[in-house]
């Protein structure tokens, strides 16, 4: 009996060992790996979906290391100093430009139809979803970054990157307070344009007394510079200069001493109108009513907008308190894209391309838009035409018939935000505000021809890296921030108080001294 | 046996981990700041950053001046408010630690939360956020740093010296001015340094309590490092200036009691 147990035990141990060995031997063959470097909170919970997608196409498993960064600057430093080795990463447009110029990127040829067939059956080639990407954003990228000098050759950024998400810079404002001030109408808003940030009605007059001290500016050098430049153009302050007729795409990148000085003056004058500068607290200040206007990015604006639902508005039917728009004459559009740094692991090439492909699938795009709030570079019509993608969005936005509760049951109608898919689609894709005249989620969907303030695609510019002029802009910003603030009165008041106190003490002491003497004398 | 290879464990060895920490996280960063201060545009070496800062083109000197004034006023207010508090705590409740605790209690709440709440209160009171609110926030946040060293020194003053001066006919006021205050000078000095240095380098308080309208030296350094691209150079020069201020005030603290008295 004992012998048998011993034998059985040996057998079990042996089989366990051999299983383990097999597992060890098999693992490296079937599991690929990939290192992704992305902004924090800039992707949905993609891991399971991507693993399934990868297995489906290649038959292999994949392990993903996911690392995040907070600013383009940290990302660039880490990559170029060799602190971390990543396969694929997602910087902003100007950071991609910088990396390209310093020859840090590997060509992707994602848009080259010739090189990669769209054939799933042939695993040597890559399925690519470039056909899904919005042609408008592709054109914009080509317009701004079509010719970048790298060493002695000229390259196009599109050969090195795949756009991921994009957004605009615009004005987030409190609709209700604007109504109270009597400035919430098509005419006023579209005439004032970027002047709203400067309390200027577009003709150089004060827009509204009530806006005084309720304007927030973004504590971001590039964005504030761009907004100021747009204001300069639209309020005619560039009249008579060579910048007067420059297209926005050029003007935004024509950084020079003249423009920087003009911005400096306007920004310094603006300070008296401001509630303050913000980075993170702007949304809160607007929602709480501390400020009425803020310079904002579309994704942040979306978040604030959806938070601002108020049941009491609109005669009890409820409405959003905040609104966001890109003024019609000029605007900035920015984007982030996937690139491969030169230090990547060439063995991971397949995984990299499949990862990018996966993200440009309409379903992944829908999931990302739901999670992040910015606009995916995938064409809205493609998302709209894809039933699976629409189901993802509908569940996320609580559309009746799609939204589920924690147990997986369909939500009752009264708990849903939208009754039908059509109603939701209209909100999501065609959310055109007639008053401020904009569709902010899809800025390329232009206002209707009937609108007197019709905008077109040329009014949106992409901002390149400031390059050599960056320093001057930083100096300008430092000057603006320090201007008009003086602690000298504080010092003088303090010295005055000290002097008064000293005099009082001196008098008291003197009195005591004299009194003492008097007492002595009288004796 | 080869004696050279033998590791001799002495008490000194216990300090090595911390020495390594100091070198890695204090000395190395300082050296990097020093190097960065001389680098412009990523590759050029020169004094460009110093010229940029000391020419005040970016408002750096103005900001430094403002910060020094606000730091001075904050410290003065902390001293004026903190000294009586520390004095009475030491005099009447030397053994009562609960009372001391009450004054340190605000420090247990995260200072960002405290400052954000202060902002909300000011807004609810319809006060305009600006220099006044920033000053309030500074005094509010740094007062405990003034009270604690003062309290420690005042408690440790030898009671017999006070009794002696009273026995020799000094009035209460004279005892305070001529015996207690001179004996508490070391506490005053360390209280001043513990308040003044943080007060001139802070950026969160001014950012929150003036919605970034009051722009202090800490804000400026922060801007150059985290909000601007390729501006580490000027930021490093500012950090060096800050460092010089810290060293000067530390020299002031390290003077012994006798010297302090002669300086004041």
A381: Cα within 13 Å, side-chain hemisphere: 6
> What is the spatial distance between Cα B220 and Cα B223, in angstroms, rounded to a whole number?
5
**What is the rounded distance in angstroms from the CA atom of residue B51 to the CA atom of residue B100?**
48
List, for residues A173-183, the tens digit of each pLDDT value.
Answer: 999 999 899 88
Q: How many C-beta atoms surround the C-beta of residue A277 within 10 A?
A: 23
ipTM exceeds 0.90, yes or no: no
> What CATH number should be reported for the domain holding residue B154?
1.10.3720.10
- pLDDT at residue A460 in the model: 85
| Res B152 pLDDT > 60 | yes
Q: C-alpha B198: how far from its chain's center?
A: 4
The predicted pLDDT at position A126 comes to 57
Tokens of A487: 């602690």
Contact between chains at A481 and B52 (C-beta distance less than 8 A): no
Higher-confidence position of A375 and A24: A375
Q: How far is CA A495 from CA A492, B60, B65, in A?
A: 5, 24, 16
When scoring B64, B132, B211 by the number of chain A Cβ atoms within 10 A, the one with the most, hence best to mutate, is: B211
Q: What is the CATH number of domain A36-161+339-381?
A: 3.40.190.10
Share of chain B above pLDDT 70, in %: 91
> Which helix H or strand E contains B205, and what residues bound it?
helix B204-209
For A133, the 3-state DSSP assignment is strand
Those of residues 65-94 in A touching chain B at CB distance below 8 A are 71-73
The yes-or-no verdict on residue A21 having pLDDT over 50 is no
Q: Where is B28: in which H helix or E strand?
A: helix B28-37
Nearest CA of chain A to the CA of B135: how many Å? 10
Q: What residues in B contact A487, CB-CB < 8 Å?
A: 65-67, 69-70, 73, 131
Report yes or no: B69 and B199 within 8 Å, Cβ to Cβ: no
Q: Which residues contact B34 (CB under 8 A, 6 or more apart)?
A: B236, B240
The C-alpha R_g of chain A, in whole angstroms, comes to 30
Distance CA A378, CA B24 (A): 47
Q: Tell me what the mean pLDDT of segment A490-513 comes to.
A: 92
pLDDT digits (tens, 9 = 90+) for B42-81: 678 888 889 888 988 888 899 999 999 999 999 999 999 9
State the total domains in chain B. Answer: 1
Least CB–CB distance from A483: residue in B59, B131, B227: B59
The band of A29, judged by pLDDT with boundaries at 50, 70 and 90, is low
**In degrees rounded to 5, what are phi and psi of residue A31?**
-110, 115
Residues of A in contact with B227 (CB under 8 A): 219-221
In tens, the pLDDT along A331-371 reads 898 899 999 999 999 888 888 988 998 998 999 999 999 88
Average pLDDT over residues B30-53: 87
Q: What is the pLDDT of residue B69?
A: 94
Q: Which residue has the higher pLDDT, B215 or B104?
A: B215
Determine which helix (DSSP H) or strand (DSSP E) holds B164, and give its type and residue range.
Answer: helix B159-167
The length of chain A is 523
| Residue B29 domain flag | no
Mode of pairing for the β-strands spanning A162-174 and A322-325: antiparallel
- Which residue of chain B is at minimal alpha-carbon distance from A489? B69
Report whether B91 contacts B245 (CB < 8 A).
Answer: no
* pLDDT tens-digit map of B245-254: 888 888 877 7
Structural domain includes residue B113 = yes
B180 found inside a domain: yes
B188 to chain A, closest Cα gap in Å: 18
Residue B1 belongs to some domain of the structure:
no
Instruction: Lowest mean pLDDT of A26-40, A115-129, A257-271, A502-516, name the range.
Output: A115-129
Q: Which residues, 6 or more positions from A441, have their beta carbon under 8 angstroms from its beta carbon?
A: A298, A302, A375, A428, A429, A431
Beta pairing, strands A31-39 & A61-69: parallel
Average of per-residue pLDDT values in chain A: 84
Q: What is the DSSP letter of A448?
A: P
Q: Do B213 and A274 count as a contact with CB atoms less than 8 A apart?
A: yes
**Which one has a higher pLDDT value, A451 or A487?**
A487
Question: What whole-number distance in Å separates Cα of residue A415 and Cα of residue B98?
Answer: 52
With an 8 Å Cβ cutoff, are B212 and A277 in contact?
yes
Please tell me if residue B60 touches chain A, with a CB cutoff of 8 Å. Answer: yes
pLDDT of residue A469: 85
Interchain CB contact of A285 with B (< 8 Å): yes
DSSP A206-266: BS-GGGTT-EEEES-HHHHHHHHHHHHHHTTTTTTSTTTT--HHHHTT---HHHHHHHHHH
Domain A166-335+430-482 CATH (choose: 3.40.50.300, 3.40.50.970, 3.40.190.10, 3.20.20.80): 3.40.190.10
pLDDT number for residue A392: 92
Taking one residue from A and the other from B, the number of pairs with CB-CB distance under 8 angstroms is 106
Quote the CA–CA distance of A168 and A295 in Å, as a whole number. Answer: 11
Answer whether residue B217 shows pLDDT above 90: yes
Is residue B149 assigned to a domain? yes
More confident residue, A273 or A126: A273
Does pLDDT of A401 surpass 90? Answer: no
Mean pLDDT over B132-154 rounds to 92
CA dihedral angle for residue A470, residue A473, residue A475, residue A477, rounded to 10 degrees: -140
Phi, psi of A328 (to 5 degrees): -70, -30
- Going by pLDDT thresholds of 50, 70 and 90, the confidence category of residue A25 is very low
Distance from CA of B59 to the nearest CA of A (A): 5
**Same fold flag, A36-161+339-381 and A166-335+430-482:** yes
Is A487 close to B131, i.e. CB distance below 8 A? yes
Structure confidence at residue A467 (pLDDT): 79
| pLDDT (0 to 100) of residue B261 | 58
CB contact under 8 A, A487 and B224: no
More confident residue, A84 or A229: A229
Contact flag A490-B135 (C-beta cutoff 8 Å): yes
Name the least confident of A160-174, A381-395, A425-439.
A425-439
Residue B47 falls inside a structural domain:
no
Domain region containing B205: 58-219
pLDDT of residue A405: 83
Token look-up 């010297």 returns B259
pLDDT surpasses 80 at A12 = no
Q: Which two tokens stand for residue A395?
A: 């569940």
**Cα within 13 Å of Cα(A405), Cβ side:** 9
User: Residue A437: its pLDDT value, please?
Assistant: 73
Q: How far is B220 from chain A (nearest CA, A)?
A: 7
Question: Which DSSP letter does residue A160 get?
Answer: T
The CA distance from B126 to the nearest CA of chain A, in Å, is: 10
- Cα dihedral A7→A10→A16→A20 (10° resolution): -150
Each domain of chain A, given as residue ranges in start order, spans 36-161+339-381, 166-335+430-482, 397-424
Computed over every residue of chain B, the mean pLDDT equals 86
Mean pLDDT on B169-186 = 87
Look at residue A26 and tell me whether its pLDDT is greater than 50: no
Q: Is the pLDDT of residue A493 over 60?
A: yes
Q: Is residue B17 part of a domain?
A: no
Helices (H) and strands (E) in chain B, counts: 15, 2
pLDDT at residue A227, rounded to an integer? 94
Q: How far apart are CA A60 and CA A29, in angstroms?
A: 8
Calpha distance A40→A291 (Å, rounded): 28
Mean pLDDT of A209-238: 90
Asked whether residue B257 is assigned to any structural domain, the reply reads no
């Amino acid at each position: 009996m004992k012998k048998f147990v011993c034998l059985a035990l040996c057998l079990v141990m042996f089989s366990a060992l051999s299983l383990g060995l097999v597992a060890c031997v098999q693992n490296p063959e079937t599991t690929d790996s990939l290192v992704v470097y992305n902004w924090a909170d800039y992707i949905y919970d993609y891991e399971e979906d991507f693993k399934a997608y990868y297995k489906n196409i290649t038959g292999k498993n994949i392990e993903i290391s996911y690392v995040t960064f907070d600013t383009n600057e940290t990302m660039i430093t880490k990559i170029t100093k060799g602190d971390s080795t990543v396969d694929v990463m997602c910087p902003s447009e100007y950071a991609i430009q910088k990396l390209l110029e310093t020859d840090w990127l590997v060509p992707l040829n994602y848009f080259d139809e010739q090189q990669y067939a769209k054939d799933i059956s042939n695993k040597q080639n890559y399925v690519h979803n470039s056909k899904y990407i919005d042609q408008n954003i592709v054109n914009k990228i080509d317009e701004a970054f079509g010719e970048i000098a790298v060493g002695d050759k000229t390259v196009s950024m599109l050969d090195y990157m795949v756009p991921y998400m994009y957004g605009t810079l615009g004005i987030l404002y409190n609709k209700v307070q604007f109504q109270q001030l009597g400035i919430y109408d098509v005419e006023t808003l579209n005439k004032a344009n970027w002047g709203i940030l400067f309390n200027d009605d577009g003709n150089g007059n004060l827009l509204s007394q009530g806006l005084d001290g309720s304007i927030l500016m973004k504590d971001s050098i590039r964005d504030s510079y761009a907004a100021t430049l747009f204001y300069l153009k639209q309020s005619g302050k560039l009249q008579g200069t060579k910048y007067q007729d420059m297209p926005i795409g050029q003007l935004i990148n024509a950084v020079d001493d003249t423009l920087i000085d003009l911005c400096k003056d306007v920004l310094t004058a603006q300070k008296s109108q401001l509630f303050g500068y913000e980075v993170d607290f702007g949304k809160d200040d607007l929602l709480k009513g501390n400020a009425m206007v803020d310079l904002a990015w579309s994704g942040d604006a979306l978040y604030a907008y959806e938070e601002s639902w108020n049941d009491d508005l609109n005669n009890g039917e409820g409405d959003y308190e905040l609104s966001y728009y890109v003024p019609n004459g000029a605007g900035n559009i920015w984007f982030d894209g996937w690139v491969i740094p030169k230090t990547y692991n060439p063995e991971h090439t397949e995984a990299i391309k499949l990862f990018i492909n996966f993200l440009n699938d309409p379903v992944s795009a829908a999931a990302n838009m739901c999670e992040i709030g910015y606009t995916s570079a995938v064409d809205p019509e493609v998302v709209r035409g894809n039933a699976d993608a629409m189901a993802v969005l509908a569940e996320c936005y609580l559309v009746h018939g799609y939204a589920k509760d924690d147990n997986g049951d369909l939500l009752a109608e009264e708990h849903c935000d939208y009754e039908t898919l059509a109603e939701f689609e209209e909100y999501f894709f065609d959310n055109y505000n007639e008053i401020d005249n904009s569709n902010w989620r899809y800025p390329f969907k232009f206002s209707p021809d009937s609108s007197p303030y019709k905008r077109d695609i040329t009014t949106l510019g992409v901002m390149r890296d400031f390059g050599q002029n960056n320093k001057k802009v930083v100096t300008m910003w430092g000057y603006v921030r320090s201007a008009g603030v003086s602690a000298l009165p504080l010092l003088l008041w303090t010295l005055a108080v000290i002097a008064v106190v000293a005099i009082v003490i001196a008098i008291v002491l003197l009195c005591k001294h004299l009194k003492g003497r008097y007492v002595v004398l009288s004796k | 046996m080869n004696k050279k290879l033998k590791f001799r464990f002495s008490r000194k060895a216990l300090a090595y981990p911390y020495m390594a920490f100091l070198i890695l996280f204090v000395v190395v960063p300082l050296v990097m700041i020093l190097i960065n201060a001389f680098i412009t545009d990523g590759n050029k070496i020169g004094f460009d950053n110093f010229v940029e800062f000391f020419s005040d083109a970016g408002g750096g000197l103005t900001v430094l001046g403002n910060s020094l004034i606000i730091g001075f006023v904050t410290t003065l207010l902390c001293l004026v408010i903190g000294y009586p508090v520390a004095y009475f705590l030491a005099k009447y409740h030397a053994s009562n630690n609960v009372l001391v605790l009450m004054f340190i209690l605000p420090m247990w709440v995260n200072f960002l939360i405290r400052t954000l709440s202060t902002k909300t209160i000011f807004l609810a009171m319809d006060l305009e956020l600006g220099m006044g609110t920033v000053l309030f926030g500074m005094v509010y946040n740094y007062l405990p740093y003034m009270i604690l060293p003062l309290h420690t020194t005042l408690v440790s003053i030898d009671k017999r010296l006070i009794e002696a001066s009273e026995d020799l006919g000094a009035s209460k006021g004279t005892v305070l001015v001529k015996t207690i205050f001179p004996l508490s000078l070391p506490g005053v000095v360390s209280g001043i340094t513990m308040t003044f240095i943080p007060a001139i380098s802070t950026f969160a308080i001014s950012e929150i309590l003036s919605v970034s309208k009051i722009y202090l030296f800490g804000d400026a350094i922060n801007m150059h490092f985290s909000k601007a691209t390729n501006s580490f150079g000027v930021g490093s020069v500012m950090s060096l200036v800050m460092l010089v201020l810290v060293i000067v005030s530390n020299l002031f603290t390290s003077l012994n009691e006798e010297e302090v008295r002669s300086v004041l």
